[in-house]
Amino acid sequence: MDFLLQQHIEKQLSSQLSKNLNFEWQPVGGGSINITYKISAKNYNYFVKINNKAVFENGFKEEVLGLQFLKANGAITPKIIIEGTYSNKIYLVLSWIESSLETTHFWENFAIQLANLHQNKALKFGLNHHNFMGELHQKNTFFNDFTPFFIENRLKPQVKLAFDSGLLQTKEVQLFESLYKQLPSIFPNEKPSAIHGDLWSGNFIATANNKAVFIDPAVYYGYREVDLAMSLLFGGFSKLFHTTYNEVYPLEKGFNNRKDLYNLYPLLIHLNLFGKSYLQSIRTIVSQF
């Protein structure tokens, strides 16, 4: 830990609290992109994430906007304490959320919370600013229809990145080109919903009051099925979560036939970030269409 950065963050917090406190720093798990800590002093507890400015040139501003987007649409999020830059480092301080066991009641509540988020609609697919999925740039240019939005803003940029780096070959790019032509007849016709955008099991926290706190967003207005598909990709969600969601806000028929198509995007992200172990899953999906 950079001592000067640590001093800077502590000074910012002490100034905000109008108290000079001695903080303890404890490393915690927080994904594969950022360095993360729990910092504590007396009854004050915070979560801090740190990275190099070269990774996110705007600092954590897009994440702040994403958390504000979720909160404005009724979701529970950590409180934003400080977002800033020091030297070549960027940092984000959030309220500390104590995690608890994922009970039956929690999964039911979480499904209802997500359905309520998805009830917030927009006229177009996209967002008024671009953001990130992991550490990769995520385009949110507005489109009237989901299919061109998904192709131009989600699949094509990641396919190009993978092809340029040698992770995808020409034959696989051709499979994607064939898929693009079929998507208009596959996707349902729904209005754009406010979505989390990166809803895997590491991006929520179960609390003692059986509510879900949403973290690490990649938000935009898209098909709500994107969130449900992502929740199935890497596991970690109770079957009760999906059953309850479908009771509260039923999905269009055929979701199970579409979910893999939505998950091509996070799989391509993982291919570009972590390498060829994700390639076979991508090939299997695109070769079905």
What span, in angstroms and rounded, lies between the C-alpha atoms of 145 and 12?
Answer: 44
Tokens representing 232 are: 């199935």
Q: What angle do CA 263, 143, 193 make, to 5 degrees?
A: 60
112 has a pLDDT exceeding 70: yes
Which residues make Cβ contacts (< 8 Å) with residue 200, sequence separation at least 6?
A: 230, 231, 233, 234, 236, 266
The domain boundary, picked from 44, 72, 95, lies at 95
Contact 130, 219 (CB under 8 A): no
**Is residue 138 domain-shared with residue 84, that is, in the same domain?**
no
Sequence letter at residue 20? N
For range 21-50, the mean pLDDT: 91
The domain boundary, picked from 95, 130, 164, lies at 95
**Is residue 194 domain-shared with residue 214, that is, in the same domain?**
yes
What span, in angstroms and rounded, lies between the C-alpha atoms of 204 and 10?
Answer: 26
Summarised one tens digit per residue, pLDDT across range 119-158 is 999 999 999 999 999 999 999 999 999 999 999 999 999 9
Confidence band of 33 (pLDDT split at 50, 70, 90): confident
**Is residue 112 domain-shared with residue 227, that is, in the same domain?**
yes
Domain containing 197 equals 104-286
What span, in angstroms and rounded, lies between the C-alpha atoms of 191 and 184?
Answer: 15
Q: What was the pLDDT predicted at 289?
A: 82
What span, in angstroms and rounded, lies between the C-alpha atoms of 104 and 160?
Answer: 42
Nearest in space to 207 (alpha carbons), one of 100, 114, 105, 113: 100
Contact 82, 60 (CB under 8 A): no
Known catalytic residue: 2?
Answer: no
What span, in angstroms and rounded, lies between the C-alpha atoms of 173 and 127?
Answer: 27
Nearest in space to 91 (alpha carbons), one of 35, 18, 14: 35
User: pTM score, two decimals?
Assistant: 0.95
* 3-class secondary-structure state, position 221: strand
**Is residue 230 domain-shared with residue 120, that is, in the same domain?**
yes
What span, in angstroms and rounded, lies between the C-alpha atoms of 186 and 255?
Answer: 10
**Is residue 83 domain-shared with residue 181, that is, in the same domain?**
no
CATH number at residue 77: 3.30.200.20
CATH number at residue 236: 3.90.1200.10
**Is residue 108 domain-shared with residue 91, that is, in the same domain?**
no
In eight-state DSSP terms, residue 76 is: -
Summarised one tens digit per residue, pLDDT across range 222-248 is 999 999 999 999 999 999 999 999 999
**Is residue 176 domain-shared with residue 33, that is, in the same domain?**
no
Contact 149, 138 (CB under 8 A): no
Average pLDDT, the chain: 96
**Is residue 153 domain-shared with residue 282, that is, in the same domain?**
yes
What span, in angstroms and rounded, lies between the C-alpha atoms of 91 and 7?
Answer: 13
Contact 130, 138 (CB under 8 A): yes
Q: Which residues of 218-238 are buried (b: 16+ CB within 10 A; e: fewer)?
A: bbbbbbbbbbbbbbbbeeebb
Nearest in space to 158 (alpha carbons), one of 178, 174, 138: 138
Confidence band of 31 (pLDDT split at 50, 70, 90): low
**Is residue 154 domain-shared with residue 267, that is, in the same domain?**
yes
Q: Which of 145, 164, 198, 260 is catalytic?
A: 198
Q: What was the pLDDT predicted at 30?
A: 66
**Is residue 154 domain-shared with residue 35, that is, in the same domain?**
no
Confidence band of 29 (pLDDT split at 50, 70, 90): confident
**Is residue 182 domain-shared with residue 212, that is, in the same domain?**
yes
For range 204-229, the mean pLDDT: 98
In eight-state DSSP terms, residue 232 is: H
**Is residue 40 domain-shared with residue 138, that is, in the same domain?**
no
The domain boundary, picked from 73, 95, 117, lies at 95
If one counts the domains in the chain, the total is 2
Summarised one tens digit per residue, pLDDT across range 239-287 is 999 999 999 999 999 999 999 999 999 999 999 999 999 999 999 999 9
For range 173-189, the mean pLDDT: 96
Summarised one tens digit per residue, pLDDT across range 40-71 is 998 899 999 999 999 998 999 999 999 999 99
Nearest in space to 150 (alpha carbons), one of 252, 254, 69, 222: 222
177 has a pLDDT exceeding 70: yes
